[in-house]
């Protein structure tokens, strides 16, 4: 039986009728922008995360730009970001006028650490974007102890929890993406900012609507970046399932461990005190090219997502300078995502592990 890299349909099937009804309700009400569904979803997402505020925006990339600007980041500032992440994390920084400064990651968690951030601090550092990569958790408190505010990029970490709280409730502010393949995905583009900080939330609400409070006076050059009513209505139906889907992702990781995957490749290591809602299950191997070529022959989906890390991307050349990120380069050339979803069964995990064993011989 083929095992796909991810499965975004099976877990949604039981919700299909309620999603269709929610869409029909929005269409009947003919209120599509900043109406009751967005307001209700914002309240429910904030309650879920354990924050005072959630602000819906158009996508996870805008969420980062708007959150950074709401935290006071602008021209002349530096923002520390990982290079081993989706490109958008860094791309969102120049959009504020600030400069991205790249830092390295931990080889086991794939996330930034207080040490890698400390090595990248400059006198102009105004904020750090801590990416909770693949659903793992970056050590937000340890990074904030360096004296810089943290914006969590929780695009891949909806459903991840820790002793200190959920992803999205740990830094000055946090951002989510509801791109369809994320842990909590809508039927198009969507995003949100969560925060306990009243001023950050108010700025974000203003910036997402052209820099205006009241649609009469325009105080900032802002954005047209709203989560829309249809997407919010779809997300409202799904949010109550996020914890059980996350449990499914955690169970899938345990299935891999129990099937002996750790004897064949290096497994991802959960951050301190963290229970990751694994968005992607990313292993490491020196023989990653053989695996990437061989697994599809066994009908097993796999993908190396960030082969060319962000600091080596053409558009980031002006910001990367001569920065040396040895762990990022090593992880970029040895990582491989194996199938992961809320419904990945023990039998499927065993099939993946058998295929990995067959390829590696
Ligand atoms: C998906 C993603 C984003 C961007 O989200 P969009 O909704 O696609 O704009 C940002 N950061 C990370 C880590 C992501 O995975």
Per residue in 67-97, pLDDT (tens digit) is 999 999 999 999 999 999 999 999 999 999 9
Domains parsed from the chain with CATH numbers: 13-240 (3.40.640.10), 242-360 (3.90.1150.10)
Name the closest-CA residue to atom 6, ligand 1.
60
Ligand 1 center to 354 CA (angstroms): 32
CA of 134 to the centre of ligand 1 (A): 11
Model confidence at 27, in pLDDT bands (50, 70, 90)?
very high
Nearest CA to ligand 1 atom 14: 155
**155-213 tens-digit pLDDT:** 999 999 999 999 999 999 999 999 999 999 999 999 999 999 999 999 999 999 999 99
Q: What is the pLDDT of residue 51?
A: 98
In this predicted structure, what is the pLDDT of residue 355?
A: 98
Using a pLDDT cut of 70, give the percent of the chain over it.
Answer: 100
Give SS3 for 303. Answer: strand
Structure tokens belonging to residue 38: 């967005």
For residue 39, what pLDDT is reported? 98
Q: What is the pLDDT, as a whole number, of residue 37? A: 98
Structure tokens at 278: 């694994």
State in Å: Cα 147 to ligand 1 middle.
26
What is the predicted pLDDT for the residue at 253? 98
pLDDT recorded at residue 277: 98
Residue with tokens 């999603």: 19
Q: Could you tell which of 64, 179, 276, 310 is best to mutate to test the pocket of ligand 1, judged by most ligand atoms within 8 Å of the CB?
A: 179
**How far is 3 from 265, CA to CA, in rounded Å?**
18
The string of DSSP codes covering 58-106 is S-HHHHHHHHHHHTT--TT-EEEEESSS-THHHHTTGGGT-EEEEE---
**3-state SS, residue 27:** helix
- Evaluate: CB of 252 within 6 angstroms of ligand 1: no
pLDDT in tens, 122-150: 999 999 999 999 999 999 999 999 999 99
pLDDT given for residue 40 in this prediction:
98
DSSP state of 187: S
Is pLDDT larger for residue 8 or for residue 121? 121
Rounded to 5 degrees, φ, ψ at 112 are: -70, 160
Question: Mind listing the pLDDT tens digit for each residue in 230-287?
Answer: 999 999 999 999 999 999 999 999 999 999 999 999 999 999 999 999 999 999 999 9
């Amino acid at each position: 039986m083929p095992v796909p890299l991810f499965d975004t349909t099976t877990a949604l099937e039981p919700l299909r009728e309620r999603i269709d009804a929610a869409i029909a309700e929005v269409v009947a009400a003919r209120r599509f922008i900043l109406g009751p569904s967005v307001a209700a979803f914002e309240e429910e997402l904030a309650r879920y995360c354990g924050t005072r505020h959630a602000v819906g925006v158009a996508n996870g990339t805008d969420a980062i730009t708007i959150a950074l600007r709401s935290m006071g980041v602008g021209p002349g500032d530096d923002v520390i970001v990982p290079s081993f992440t989706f490109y958008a994390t860094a791309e969102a920084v120049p959009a504020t006028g600030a400069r991205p400064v790249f830092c390295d990651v931990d080889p086991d968690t794939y996330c930034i650490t207080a040490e890698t951030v400390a090595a990248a601090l400059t006198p102009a550092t105004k904020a750090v974007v801590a990416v909770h990569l693949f659903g793992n958790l970056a050590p937000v408190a340890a990074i904030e102890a360096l004296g810089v505010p943290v914006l969590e990029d929780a695009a891949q970490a909806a459903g991840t929890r820790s002793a200190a709280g959920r992803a999205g409730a740990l830094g000055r502010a946090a951002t989510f993406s509801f791109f369809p393949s994320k842990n909590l995905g809508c039927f198009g583009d969507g995003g949100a900012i969560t925060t306990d900080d009243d001023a950050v939330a108010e700025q974000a609400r203003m910036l997402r609507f052209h820099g205006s409070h009241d649609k009469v006076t325009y105080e900032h050059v802002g954005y047209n970046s709203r989560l829309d009513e249809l997407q919010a209505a779809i997300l409202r139906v799904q949010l109550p399932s996020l914890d059980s889907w996350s449990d499914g992702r955690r169970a899938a990781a345990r299935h891999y461990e129990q099937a002996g995957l750790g004897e064949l490749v290096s497994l991802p290591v959960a951050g301190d005190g963290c229970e990751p809602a694994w968005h992607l299950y990313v292993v490491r191997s020196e023989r990653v090219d053989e695996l990437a070529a061989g697994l599809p022959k066994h009908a097993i989906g796999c993908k190396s997502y960030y082969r060319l890390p962000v600091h080596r991307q053409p558009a980031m050349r002006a910001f990367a300078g001569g920065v040396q990120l040895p762990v990022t380069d090593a992880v970029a050339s040895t990582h491989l995502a194996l199938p992961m979803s809320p419904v990945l069964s023990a039998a499927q995990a065993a099939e993946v592990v058998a295929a990995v064993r067959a390829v590696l011989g």
